[in-house]
Structure 1
Amino acid sequence: MNSGFKAVIMGGITLIVGFVLWRFTGDVETPVVTLTKLGVVLMVLGGLEALYGLFKSVGGKFVS
């Protein structure tokens, strides 16, 4: 398994976890971090990681 595919898989998992946090933890209160905001951050990071993995697996062949 190459590193681009791993980045796509891990980015997708992070995106899904972020979506679940954002969607279903609106009424949960924590003292330090709001879980809905953490979900949004995880969705953004997961999406970026998935896009990086796609670029690395597809576009990386043409760049080098």
Structure 2
Amino acid sequence: MSKARKNLLEGVGTLLVGLVLWLFTEDVEVPVVTLTKVGVVMMCVGGVQTATGLYQVTRTSAGSRSR
């Protein structure tokens, strides 16, 4: 698996886990952090990682076409 596809897959996974945390952990209380806020942060990180993976995939495919 190429690095671009790995970044894309990890980003989508992180985004989905963050979405689940954000949507379904409102009533769960943890002493140190708020799980809904952790979910928002994970969605942001997952979005950036997904965008990076998409960029790498398109850059790789455009590079192979020009050769």
TM-score, with length taken from structure 1: 0.90
Query: 1:26-37, aligned counterparts within 5 Å?
Result: 26-37=26-37
For 1:43, the equivalent position in structure 2 comes to 43
Higher-Rg structure is 2
CA offsets, 1:29-48, max 9 Å, x none? 11100000000000000010
Measure, in 1, the Cα distance between the counterparts of 2:26 and 2:37: 10
For 1:25, the equivalent position in structure 2 comes to 25
CA offsets, 1:4-58, max 9 Å, x none? 0000000000000000000000000111000000000000000100000111111
Measure, in 2, the Cα distance between the counterparts of 1:15 and 1:58: 20
Unaligned runs of 5+ in 1: none
For 2:13, the equivalent position in structure 1 comes to 13
TM-score, with length taken from structure 2: 0.87
